Amino acid sequence: MSGNGGTADGGARPTGGAGGAGPGGTDGGIGTGGVGGAIGGDAGTSAGCNVSPVNPNATKQAKNLLCYIYSQYGNHVLSGQQETSWSNPDGDIGWYSDNGMKAPAILGGDYLYPNGTSARAIAYWNAGGITMIRYHMGAPPSSDTYENAKGSANIDNVVRDGTTENISFRSKLDYAAGELKKLQDANVAVIWAPFHEVQPNGWFWWAKGSGAQFVSLWKYMFDYFTETKGLNNVIWLLPFSGSPNSTYYPGSKFLDLSGPDTYDTNQPFTALFGSAKSVIGTTMPIPLHETGLIPSPSAMFPGAAPWVLFNIWAGYQSDGTHNDVENIKKVYADAHTVTRDEVPGLK
Amino acid sequence: MSRALKSLVALSLVVVAASYISWRRAQVTISAIQSKRAHAHGSELRPAADEIVKAEVQAASPSKPSPVSQRKSFLDEPALMATLRRLESKDASISLRLAREGNARFPDGADAAERAWIVVKSLDTLRRFHEGRDEAELMVSRYPGTSWALDVERHTLIYPLDQPSREEMQAADPVAH
């Protein structure tokens, strides 16, 4: 492969084996070689793959998942769909079959909604898919509501042991860890995307402080989940907003994946891919963890914006406003697009 | 003392008195607003917000015309936007007021959509969610397809308001958890 550069923060993530393809170099060009798009068989297992999750105790399933994601970077894009957790969570995936399409490779969930999120994630994995979960956590010490996620918190106190905010934060982490543990006990790996849309002056409480405060928040959760809670089934995704910012980047020792989101319409969002790469580096696969408009693989590849996955936001696929059904069908039929039935065994 | 001299002295006294009253009112207003802001935020005023408050008070002082349309004309559109962007979310009430005033004065300005976005985001920060949603609906129809409208739409018009908290949902269905 070409352009196997280090990460923006100086780290170097080994690639090769199953993960032998990827966008390389500073020119955004696509590397060649590696699996080159093999789907199925052993392509998704960690055998022969020297990519390792940041958690040294990662489960076999987590290693397989990360290796598989690396193997697809630069040559394929994993399809994804966020569920409408608050009203009809099964409706979004059902919409694809109702319209004659295969199921997305990835189901997106939200732990703001406790009822059934983990159960649906486990079921999706057992059906051959991948799950990606975020969490609209309310600003400590307030409860978890969408409105409270847009509140404000004293982040210094949130990470200072014993404060009211910290006790609340730990309670929320305990809840989320308990849900992720359900997945681990079921041998399910998960792409965990907490504190999403981080940027200076963002909408959510975790994005209303400084970069240093956010990094302390991220590391606190990372340490608590990996060391205290023994969660080893997690692939850590740092989900930027449409303005990736290096001061909010904890570094590659604390995450496995990172990427932005956008609701703009200038797909495939080439400039955004470039700005993300300038922060995240040229080696780590870059996901489009949320999008309003589905990007077209024919425009993404080979080098314009080779997102490793896209995740259409809840309801945006079917509301008749943000996407055209025929265009989604076209994208799902594209040879670059991975659907659930094409995900190899990761168990 | 001649009559003309007496008149001049009297006029001078009136001017001095008026100036003093004007100055005192401005000081009282500054103190009141600073006290209100400091109380609301539990901390000292941030420099940017403080600067804006003083500018507002200066513009609203009795020595200047008082109608809103006139007293707010001290900032042109670029200067207003520079101020709003510098404020970010440091003081949502001031951002809300300036953005609304800006769009009243420059409804078709180049940055009108951004100001409308600031209005909605400020209302959210102030936890005036229903008002924010009403503003968001207006904004999305007024500036369709702009990145500002798309951003507001997904953050204010997708999730239903006033749902039970996650904790309440769990308490209502303890078996599932």
> What is the DSSP annotation of A64-107?
HHHHHHHHHTTT-EE-EEE-BTTTBTTHHHHHHHHTT-PPBSEE
Residue type present at position B103: N
Please name every residue paired with A190 in a beta bridge, in sequence order, or none if there are none: A234
Report residue B7's pLDDT band, with 50, 70 and 90 as the boundaries: low
The predicted-structure confidence for B77-130, as pLDDT tens digits, reads as follows: 999 999 999 988 789 999 999 999 999 999 999 999 999 999 999 999 999 999
Compute the nearest-CA separation of B115 from chain A (Å): 15
What's the confidence (pLDDT) of residue A345? 93
Nearest to B166 among A112, A116, A313 (CB): A112
What's the confidence (pLDDT) of residue B67? 45
pLDDT greater than 60 at residue B61: no
Q: What percent of chain B has pLDDT over 70?
A: 57
Residue type present at position A47: A
This prediction's pTM: 0.81
Distance between CA atoms of A23 and A1, rounded to whole angstroms? Answer: 9
* Neighboring chain B residues of A87 at a CB cutoff of 8 Å: 160
Report residue A21's pLDDT band, with 50, 70 and 90 as the boundaries: very low
Least confident of A213-222, A306-315, B3-12: B3-12
Nearest to B124 among A115, A150, A292 (CB): A150
What's the confidence (pLDDT) of residue B44? 32
Mean pLDDT of A117-126: 98
- Give me chain B's average pLDDT, please: 74
Q: What percent of chain A has pLDDT over 90?
A: 85
Q: Considering only residues B73 and A152, tell me which one the structure prediction assigns the higher pLDDT.
A: A152
Which of B125, B159, B173 is the best substitution to test chain A (most A C-beta atoms within 10 A)?
B159
pLDDT greater than 80 at residue A311: yes
pLDDT greater than 90 at residue A193: yes
Q: Does the ipTM surpass 0.95? A: no
- Give me chain A's average pLDDT, please: 89
- Pairwise CB contact (< 8 Å): A148 & B165: yes
DSSP assignments along B98-129, one per residue:
HHHHHHHH-TTSTTHHHHHHHHHHHHHHTT-H
Least confident of B5-9, B38-42, B170-174: B38-42
The predicted-structure confidence for A268-295, as pLDDT tens digits, reads as follows: 999 999 999 999 999 999 999 999 999 9
Q: Considering only residues A35 and A204, tell me which one the structure prediction assigns the higher pLDDT.
A: A204
**Is residue A338 a contact partner of residue A72, using CB atoms and an 8 Å limit?**
yes
Tell me which chain A residue has its CA closest to the CA of residue B161.
Answer: A147
**Is residue A147 a contact partner of residue A85, using CB atoms and an 8 Å limit?**
no
Least confident of A13-17, A188-192, B169-173: A13-17
What's the confidence (pLDDT) of residue B173? 83
What's the confidence (pLDDT) of residue B46? 42
What's the confidence (pLDDT) of residue A10? 35
What's the confidence (pLDDT) of residue A91? 96
Report residue B75's pLDDT band, with 50, 70 and 90 as the boundaries: confident
What's the confidence (pLDDT) of residue A68? 97
- Pairwise CB contact (< 8 Å): B163 & A263: no
> Residue A170: helix, strand or coil by DSSP?
helix
pLDDT greater than 80 at residue A122: yes
**Chain B residues 122-151 with CB within 8 Å of chain A:** 124-125, 127, 129, 145, 147, 150-151
Least confident of A33-42, A128-137, A218-227, A249-258: A33-42
What's the confidence (pLDDT) of residue A183? 98
Compute the nearest-CA separation of A139 from chain B (Å): 12
pLDDT greater than 70 at residue B54: no
The predicted-structure confidence for A56-77, as pLDDT tens digits, reads as follows: 999 999 999 999 999 999 999 9
Residue A297 has which token pair? 């693989």
- Pairwise CB contact (< 8 Å): B150 & A87: no
Please name every residue paired with A309 in a beta bridge, in sequence order, or none if there are none: A78
Report residue B69's pLDDT band, with 50, 70 and 90 as the boundaries: very low
**Chain B residues 58-117 with CB within 8 Å of chain A:** 88-89
User: Quick one: which of A292, A179, A29 has its CA closest to A194?
Assistant: A179
Nearest to A115 among B121, B153, B173 (CB): B173
* Neighboring chain A residues of B117 at a CB cutoff of 8 Å: none
pLDDT greater than 50 at residue B10: yes
The predicted-structure confidence for A125-180, as pLDDT tens digits, reads as follows: 999 999 999 999 999 999 999 999 999 999 999 999 999 999 999 999 999 999 99
What's the confidence (pLDDT) of residue A302? 94
Contact residues for B112 (Cβ-Cβ < 8 A; gap 6+):
B103, B106, B143
pLDDT greater than 70 at residue B161: yes
pLDDT greater than 50 at residue A83: yes
